[in-house]
Structure 1
Amino acid sequence: MSVEPGLEGPTFPPLQTGVPLGARVDPFARAVAQAQGGEVEPGTVHYAETDRALRLAVTFAPETPLRHAMGVVLAVELGLADAIGALAPPEVAVHFTWPAGVKVNGAACGRIRAAASTTDPAAEPDWLVVGVELDVSPEPGTETGRTPDRTWLHAEGCADVTVPALISSFARHMLVWVHSFMADGLGPAHAAWRAKCDTLEQDITEPQAGFFAGLDEHGGMLLRTGSGTRIIPLTTMLEAP
């Protein structure tokens, strides 16, 4: 992200530390690699210096079993939605698809990623990394009208939103939701996330076919099929470190 003269890069709250990376570096992969080596403190935000996309990763050190700690994913998603809402015109709508899709004005615009030191829901992870990716502006020459199911923030009336401002806004709003999750449990985030999910109580095909009936107490999907209702836990979104 080349910062123009007179413009500042992103800023972070006192409990977070920003680590800038090259435009072609994957912040999620870097954060995971450093967490595996025990090199990164909780609250570290790795971010790519690029003006075309928001790409960052936040490192957490949960002190609860993984099944509960995964609720921070919902907190991160809500922080992103609030960050966009604080900078974008009021008509811009942000929605989620379970577990990790981010939509702007009804079209796919980004995703959330996660990896942890363990995949055992009952184990307490040494670290948990949550990545955020949001498409801000298309590559030059891209004909955005040819992809109605995909969009970019700048194509949705947000041409004045810069990546540094978005990172700064995200850092503040995400911290509010994370503190809420730590202090009050998943309840508040659970309710707010449901309100922003546009596939809830509908027939879906992804991640599996069925009726999306709701979320369990840990943010897992309640999927109703012809054979009954079952839970798909949030831990299924974890990527191999």
Structure 2
Amino acid sequence: MTETALALSFPPLMSGEAVTGLEDPFETACKRAVLGCDAGLVVYNLAPDTVRAALVFAPEVPLAQAMAMLPTCGVGFQNALGALAPPEVAVHLEWNGAIRTNGARCGTLRAAASTADPAEVPDWLVIGLELPLWPADGDGGDSPDQTALYAEGCADVEAPALIESWARHCLHWINRWEEEGAKHLHADWRELAHGIGEPVQEGGLSGTFLGIDEAFGMLLRDDETTHLIPLTELLETP
């Protein structure tokens, strides 16, 4: 059995579907969601150079609240890698879904949903994860601000184990969010957040990243006012 055909193990209420070659798990997960697959489906591609996976949700709350699954899956990823990588490897999360490892960008999270209306309860929501294992240039990365997992002391972290761990930790945080609300998720995400208090550009605006509101919207302060950029601005068209 080749590595790309490995069947991974997921916790109860989750199931897995492997795709191979150039097939994008995020796009495949969106297609499965449109067709009415069960929530908890994890679609993954075990390519030798990149970790790619996507998780399907069936929200029961309006999209504005359901988008909390993006930072939820970000915290889940940090927990997952933290359980597998050496303790000196630092992971931080950008508001827009980008992942930073030891300070440099190293992959991203993305989101798509059946609707873009923040007030509407979506039929489905998909969160995707993409993480380079090897630098594109075969050395340290394309630029000082870009890196890859195996260039950061994580050569012993195997892609199958990372995807399984990500799913488990995401489920843990999903359950906490459903049972306890967003308080603990807020606290953990803020500890991992990159760029708070620093100048950023987002949504066509420039200013200082002050933090987030209760729905994880970005608070961006320019010379005149504070702007609120909702997480729904990050949605991709499936």
Is TM (by shorter chain) over 0.5? yes
Measured against aligned partners, the alpha-carbon deviations of 1:144-195 in whole angstroms (never above 9, x if no partner) come to: 2652111111111111111011111111111111111111111111111111
Count of aligned pairs: 237
What SS does structure 1 have at the residue aligned with 2:76?
helix
State whether structure 2 residue 220 is matched by structure 1 residue 223. yes
Counterpart position of 1:3:
3
Q: Structure 2 vs 1, CA of residues 21 and 217 (structure 1 numbering), >3 Å: closer, same or farther?
A: same
State whether structure 2 residue 198 is matched by structure 1 residue 202. yes
Residues 222 and 230 in structure 1, CA contact (< 8 A), matched pair in contact too: yes
TM-aligned CA deviation for residue 15 of structure 1: 1.2
| Residue segments in structure 1 that go unaligned for 5+ positions in a row | none
User: Which of the residues 62, 83, 87 maps onto 2:84?
Assistant: 87
Counterpart position of 2:180:
184
The residue type equivalent to 1:232 in the other structure is: I
CA RMSD in angstroms comes to 1.8
Counterpart position of 1:163:
159
User: Which of the residues 16, 19, 30 maps onto 1:18?
Assistant: 16
CA distance in structure 2 between the aligned counterparts of 1:216 and 1:37, rounded to whole angstroms: 34
CA distance in structure 2 between the aligned counterparts of 1:205 and 1:118, rounded to whole angstroms: 25
TM-aligned CA deviation for residue 115 of structure 1: 0.6
CA distance in structure 2 between the aligned counterparts of 1:201 and 1:145, rounded to whole angstroms: 27
TM-aligned CA deviation for residue 137 of structure 1: 2.0
| Residue segments in structure 2 that go unaligned for 5+ positions in a row | none
The residue type equivalent to 1:160 in the other structure is: D
TM-aligned CA deviation for residue 96 of structure 1: 1.0
State whether structure 2 residue 105 is matched by structure 1 residue 108. yes
CA distance in structure 1 between the aligned counterparts of 2:141 and 2:62, rounded to whole angstroms: 45
Give the share of equivalent positions with the same residue, in percent: 46
Residues 141 and 148 in structure 2, CA contact (< 8 A), matched pair in contact too: no
CA distance in structure 1 between the aligned counterparts of 2:198 and 2:207, rounded to whole angstroms: 8
What SS does structure 2 have at the residue aligned with 1:209?
strand
User: Which of the residues 47, 52, 58 maps onto 2:55?
Assistant: 58
Measured against aligned partners, the alpha-carbon deviations of 1:87-144 in whole angstroms (never above 9, x if no partner) come to: 00000000011121100000110111101111110100000011011111235x6232
TM-aligned CA deviation for residue 9 of structure 1: 4.8
Residues 135 and 141 in structure 2, CA contact (< 8 A), matched pair in contact too: no
User: Which of the residues 146, 151, 154 maps onto 2:150?
Assistant: 154
Counterpart position of 1:138:
135
TM-score (norm 2): 0.94
CA distance in structure 2 between the aligned counterparts of 1:145 and 1:179, rounded to whole angstroms: 36
Residues 12 and 168 in structure 1, CA contact (< 8 A), matched pair in contact too: yes
CA distance in structure 1 between the aligned counterparts of 2:142 and 2:54, rounded to whole angstroms: 30
| Matches for 1:124-135 after TM superposition, within 5 Å | 124-135=121-132
State whether structure 2 residue 189 is matched by structure 1 residue 193. yes
The structure 1 segments of at least 4 consecutive aligned residues displaced by more than 6 Å after TM superposition are: none
Counterpart position of 1:34:
32
